[in-house]
Amino acid sequence: MSEPALSIRNLVRIYETEGERLEVLRGADLDLYPGELVGLVGPSGSGKSSLLHAAALLEKPTAGEVIIEGRDGLLLSDRQRTAVRRRQIGFVYQFHHLLPELDALENVALPRRIAGARASEAREAAMERLQALGLGQRLAHRPGQLSGGEQQRVAIARALVNKPQILLADEPTGNLDPNTSDQVFDALRAACRDAGAAALVATHNLALAERMDRVVTLVEGVVRPYERPAG
Ligand SMILES: Nc1ncnc2c1ncn2[C@@H]1O[C@H](COP(=O)(O)OP(=O)(O)OP(=O)(O)O)[C@@H](O)[C@H]1O
């Protein structure tokens, strides 16, 4: 088997606010292999977002390792960590977080520009991603001129424009009606396959989770395979 694209080791996340101590992750382990699509389910407050934010190197956990390209991303300097994140990780949120004054093409091209690509190359890469996600006719639309499902597909295109090995998504369809949710999920899956990215997708939608290659859940702060309740 190939090396994991992402390995989470013994991840601990404790929040301390006003004297209250909350142990959300208590030694979570997870390997994400190239090309696989893994669902992350669990009750509200079980720590899915905490796990995704640590995995994306967006937040420093209390302890643990996040291994990407053979190195613990948590031990890197801020600059190196930002570089790994830009190159290797795409992130999709429940709400699109697109820039309202830029059109779809500009929104998707932006991370490519930030990664150092020339304007023409960035636009070309953005166009390719948007077309692959069925948005070839929406390139010049600003977010406010797009439907919720289209906005999320633009956000997926943006997350994948630098061809990261890892896509992390936190409730990417949580804001959509069931039909649109299915369409956006299909688009996400196809785009990941196309880009060869491994994806970890947190969702409350069990029907969607069951369409992924594998489903895991958080139980008392550790990752377990998800088992469908009997009956
Ligand atoms: N910055 C923070 N400070 C204090 N507590 C926090 C912080 N972030 C999260 N928490 C708490 O940690 C717990 C886990 O939160 P997290 O968002 O990771 O769960 P989740 O499984 O993603 O939940 P949901 O499904 O509702 O999005 C919650 O009880 C939350 O209130």
Q: Decide: pTM greater than 0.80.
A: yes
Expressed in angstroms, the distance from the first to the final Cα of the chain is 35
Nearest CA to ligand 1 atom 16: 47
Q: Which sequence spans correspond to the domains of the chain?
A: 6-225
Whether the CB-CB separation of 104 and 138 falls below 8 Å is answered with: yes
Whether the CB-CB separation of 105 and 140 falls below 8 Å is answered with: yes
Ligand 1 centroid to residue 173 C-alpha, Å: 19
Question: For a pocket test of ligand 1, which of 11, 12, 24, 41 has the largest count of ligand atoms closer than 8 A to its C-beta?
Answer: 24
DSSP structural state of residue 34:
T
The structure tokens 């956000």 sit at 155
Atom of ligand 1 nearest to the CA of 204: 25
Which protein residues touch ligand 1 with a CB less than 6 Å away?
A: 15, 17, 22, 24, 42, 44-50
Give the model confidence (pLDDT) of 145-166 as tens digits. Answer: 999 999 999 999 999 999 999 9
- ipTM passes above 0.95: yes
Give the model confidence (pLDDT) of 45-92 as tens digits. Answer: 999 999 999 999 999 999 999 999 999 999 999 999 999 999 999 999
Whether the CB-CB separation of 20 and 81 falls below 8 Å is answered with: no
Q: Give me the pLDDT at residue 46, please.
A: 96
Q: 6-225: which CATH architecture?
A: 3-Layer(aba) Sandwich (3.40)
Ligand 1 centroid to residue 130 C-alpha, Å: 32
User: Of 126, 127, 131, 172, which Cα lies nearest the Cα of 151?
Assistant: 172
Question: For a pocket test of ligand 1, which of 11, 14, 25, 44 has the largest count of ligand atoms closer than 8 A to its C-beta?
Answer: 44
User: Of 144, 136, 167, which Cα lies nearest the Cα of 34?
Assistant: 167
Whether the CB-CB separation of 84 and 57 falls below 8 Å is answered with: yes
Nearest CA to ligand 1 atom 30: 45
In which element (H, E) is residue 37 found?
A: strand 37-41
Whether the CB-CB separation of 221 and 28 falls below 8 Å is answered with: yes
pLDDT over 70 for what percent of the chain?
99
